[in-house]
Amino acid sequence: MELIQRPRRLRGNEILRKMVRETRMDKSSLIYPLFVKEGTNIREEIPSMEGQYRYSIDRLPYELEELQKAGVGSVMLFGIPDHKDAVGSGAYDDQGIVQRALREAKKQFPDLYYITDVCMCEYTSHGHCGVLCGHDVDNDATLELLAKTALSHVEAGADMVAPSDMMDGRVRAIREMLDKNGHTGSPIMSYAVKYASAFYGPFRDAAGSAPSFGDRRSYQMDFHNRREGMKEALTDIGEGADIIMVKPAMSYLDMVSEVSKAVNVPVAAYSVSGEYAMVKAAAKNGWIDEERIISEMAVGAYRAGAQIYITYYAKELARLMDEGRIG
């Protein structure tokens, strides 16, 4: 048969396949989520996330050293306090768990890049992402507390803040608070396109942040909606967001693609706890090849348009890149 077009010509061997690869990954684009909690000498495995741990501040440096050796240069910190109250005061306490963890981490590993999750859910006694008015989250009353939290993180050493609460106007409130206090160079990565997803279940186990009543669908987005996601992304950019995040990643790659085409800022995709837990469970049962699956998931996010990938598999992906098996 006389064929002019033979796409298989460029698939003949590994060197050629890598030469013509359209999507490329780099370890510098990986962010690893870390959970820090009160106490000492704690490295506590999270039951629903095998291989992930809650660390006390004194054990955190051991994990940071492992990340640095792996070539993963960025971490995102989530705090698990002992004390919770109605207004989530531990979130913006200068001596809060994240603030103290930042100071220690910065002292021991100053070359790593520290991003902090800015939200109230881990710190409120009711588990919602803001202060309540009856059984509803009071959007505007929450903004001041989120801004105070972001400022306290930056002043403790955070290189970037990432608000995940989904309150209207939070990016603007945080930007104004940071600028007013001289932190004009501190970037904001907004959880802008954040859906009310069942994929978050293991995270709520990890952080102890499940709401004590109701759910978060009055502030996180309905997963049926595409245009609403675009509206959120563009609104947050207008308020001063420097990076836009889509969360979750795997079931929302259409949104990663659409957002990346519509905005002029970097786009991050968060491969969330449920994605991690499903892969771990299936791999443990021998049903899938774990390394190939996580490679496909990561490449899928980059192929869709993400420049940043937040994943609990950051260390494994970094190793696979070093071995030339992904990248």
Q: How far apart are CA 274 and CA 268, in angstroms?
A: 18
Torsions phi, psi of 22, nearest 5?
Answer: -85, -35
Mean pLDDT of 236-263: 97
For residue range 279-291, list pLDDT tens digits in order. 999 999 999 999 9
Which helix or strand (DSSP H or E) is residue 145 part of? helix 139-156
**Catalytic-role residue among 194, 231, 284, 315:** 194
pLDDT of residue 211: 77
pLDDT of residue 215: 75
pLDDT of residue 17: 92
Q: What mean pLDDT, rounded, does the chain reach?
A: 95
Mean pLDDT of 244-269: 97
Contact at 8 Å (CB) between 245 and 301? Answer: no
Contact at 8 Å (CB) between 91 and 48? Answer: no
> Per-residue confidence at 201, pLDDT binned at 50, 70, 90?
confident
Q: Which residues contact 105 (CB under 8 A, 6 or more apart)?
A: 60, 61, 64, 75, 77, 112, 114, 157
**Res. 180: pLDDT tops 80:** yes
Q: How far apart are CA 95 and CA 228, in angstroms?
A: 37
> Per-residue confidence at 206, pLDDT binned at 50, 70, 90?
confident
The question of whether 27 is a catalytic residue gets the answer no
pLDDT of residue 4: 82
**Catalytic-role residue among 148, 247, 280, 315:** 247
For residue range 89-136, list pLDDT tens digits in order. 999 999 999 999 999 999 999 999 999 999 999 999 998 898 998 888
**Res. 217: pLDDT tops 90:** no
DSSP 32-86: EEEEEESSSS-EEE-TTSTT-EEEETTTHHHHHHHHHHHT--EEEEEEE-S--BT
| Peptide bond before residue 248 is cis, with ω within 30 degrees of 0 | yes
For residue range 35-90, list pLDDT tens digits in order. 999 999 999 999 999 999 999 999 999 999 999 999 999 999 999 999 999 999 99
Contact at 8 Å (CB) between 151 and 182? Answer: no
Q: How far apart are CA 95 and CA 107, in angstroms?
A: 16
Torsions phi, psi of 315, nearest 5?
Answer: -65, -45
Q: In the numeric block, which tokens belong to residue 139? A: 């959007």
Mean pLDDT of 258-286: 97
> Per-residue confidence at 214, pLDDT binned at 50, 70, 90?
low
> Per-residue confidence at 160, pLDDT binned at 50, 70, 90?
very high
Mean pLDDT of 195-205: 90
pLDDT of residue 278: 97
Least confident piece of the model among 91-105, 211-225, 286-300: 211-225
The question of whether 247 is a catalytic residue gets the answer yes
pLDDT of residue 216: 82
Q: How far apart are CA 205 and CA 67, in angstroms?
A: 23
Burial of residue 6 (CB within 10 Å: 0-12, 13-18, 19+) is exposed
